[in-house]
């Protein structure tokens, strides 16, 4: 049971280790030249061509490395990938240093998004020349200059694409920042307007509170005046009643006095008549 458990655990670990690699594998690179098994000899011009699959939708470049039988890198370059076809080309040449020995060489390529590929070719070193060939040296120098110019042109083209993308992104970001700044300015203006309006409303509310206080005070004063007027009216009514009663008593008194006076006069007249008779 222990060996089986160990194998299962090992399988799980390997799966977990390889799963990120599988998840991030984005494509493959195939080569059209040199064909696998091609034999190149001495100082020979040739081109490394291939294609990235799937075709990238964004600017892409491929790093190419050529290694001799002992694993030493004898040639390397970075070339751009055509967006329409996914193809790339790297013109170069064999020979030129002591690392170019007879045997099988490996070409590896990796693009910007992780796609990889490899191929091989055979190389056979040429016999050392008996004399220095100035013409061949000039040809080699001219070829190397041409390769350098080609590589520089490709790099500049790649940089131009990247610069265009960066300029576009910068313009978009700049426009977005400008719009955001405008919105923030408008928001600040609106906040200022709202603050001013709130201040005006607060002033109006304060004035209304003062007016309500004044009205309340006036109502209180009016209420007191009404109460005083009511009291005065009641006093006046009482005085009128008293006066009326007093008038009635006076009239009665006068009438009684008049009646008594009349009776007295009658009595005196009667006495006077008696005396005269």
Which band of pLDDT confidence, cut at 50, 70 and 90, is reported for residue 3? very low
Q: Can you give the C-alpha Rg of the chain in angstroms?
A: 62
Which band of pLDDT confidence, cut at 50, 70 and 90, is reported for residue 250? low
Over residues 94-130, the pLDDT tens digits come to: 998 899 999 999 999 999 999 999 999 999 987 655 5
What are the angstrom distances between the C-alpha of 277 and each of 88, 141, 269?
Answer: 181, 197, 12
Computed over every residue of the chain, the mean pLDDT equals 78
* pLDDT number for residue 23: 40
Pick the CATH number of 27-126 from 3.30.110.30, 1.10.10.10, 2.60.40.10, 3.40.50.261: 2.60.40.10
Among 137-141, 160-164, 184-188, 217-221, the minimum mean pLDDT is found in 160-164
3-state helix, strand, coil in the chain (%, to 5): 60, 20, 20
How big is the chain, counted in residues? 277
Over residues 125-157, the pLDDT tens digits come to: 876 555 556 676 677 777 778 777 878 777 777
What are the angstrom distances between the C-alpha of 3 and each of 13, 122, 205?
Answer: 15, 45, 87
Domain ranges, ordered by start, for the chain = 27-126
Task: Say if residue 38 is exposed, middle or buried (CB neighbours under 10 Å; 0-12, 13-18, 19+).
Answer: middle
Higher pLDDT, 11 or 148: 148
Supply the pTM of this predicted model. 0.41
Average pLDDT of span 170-183: 73
* pLDDT number for residue 131: 56
Average pLDDT of span 4-21: 43
Is-cis flag, bond preceding 54, omega within 30? yes
Task: Say if residue 80 is exposed, middle or buried (CB neighbours under 10 Å; 0-12, 13-18, 19+).
Answer: buried
Q: Are strands 103-111 and 116-124 parallel, antiparallel or unpaired?
A: antiparallel
For the chain, counts of helices (H) and of strands (E): 2, 8
* pLDDT number for residue 4: 40
CB 109, CB 49: distance < 8 Å: no
Which band of pLDDT confidence, cut at 50, 70 and 90, is reported for residue 15? very low
Which band of pLDDT confidence, cut at 50, 70 and 90, is reported for residue 246? low
* pLDDT number for residue 157: 73
Give the containing element (helix H, strand E) for 121. Answer: strand 116-124
Among 40-49, 164-173, 202-211, 212-221, the minimum mean pLDDT is found in 164-173
Q: Is the dihedral of CA 14, 19, 21, 26 positive or negative?
A: positive
């Amino acid at each position: 049971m222990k060996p089986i458990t160990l194998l299962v655990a090992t399988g799980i670990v390997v799966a977990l280790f390889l799963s990120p690699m599988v998840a991030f594998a984005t494509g493959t690179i195939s080569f059209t030249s040199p064909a696998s098994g091609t034999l190149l000899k001495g100082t020979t011009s040739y081109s490394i061509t291939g294609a990235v699959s799937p075709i990238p939708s964004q600017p892409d470049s491929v790093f190419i490395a050529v290694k001799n039988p002992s694993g030493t890198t004898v040639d390397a370059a970075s070339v751009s990938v055509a967006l329409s076809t996914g193809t790339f080309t790297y013109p170069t040449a064999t020979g030129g240093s002591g690392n170019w020995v007879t045997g099988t060489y490996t070409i590896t390529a990796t693009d910007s998004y992780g796609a990889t590929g490899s191929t091989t070719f055979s190389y056979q070193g040429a016999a050392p020349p008996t004399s220095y060939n100035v013409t061949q040296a000039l040809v080699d120098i001219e070829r190397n200059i041409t390769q350098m110019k080609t590589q520089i042109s490709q790099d500049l083209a790649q940089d131009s694409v990247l610069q265009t993308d960066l300029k576009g992104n910068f313009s978009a970001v700049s426009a977005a920042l400008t719009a955001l700044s405008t919105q923030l300015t408008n928001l600040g203006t609106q906040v200022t307007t709202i603050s001013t309006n709130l201040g005006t409303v607060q002033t109006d509310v304060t004035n209304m509170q003062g007016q309500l206080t004044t009205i309340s005070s006036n109502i209180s004063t009016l209420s007191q005046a009404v109460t005083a007027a009511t009291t005065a009216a009641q006093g006046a009514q009482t005085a009128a009643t008293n006066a009326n009663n007093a008038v009635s008593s006076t009239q009665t008194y006068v009438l009684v006095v008049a009646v008594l006076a009349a009776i007295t006069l009658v009595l005196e007249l009667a006495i006077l008549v008696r005396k005269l008779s």
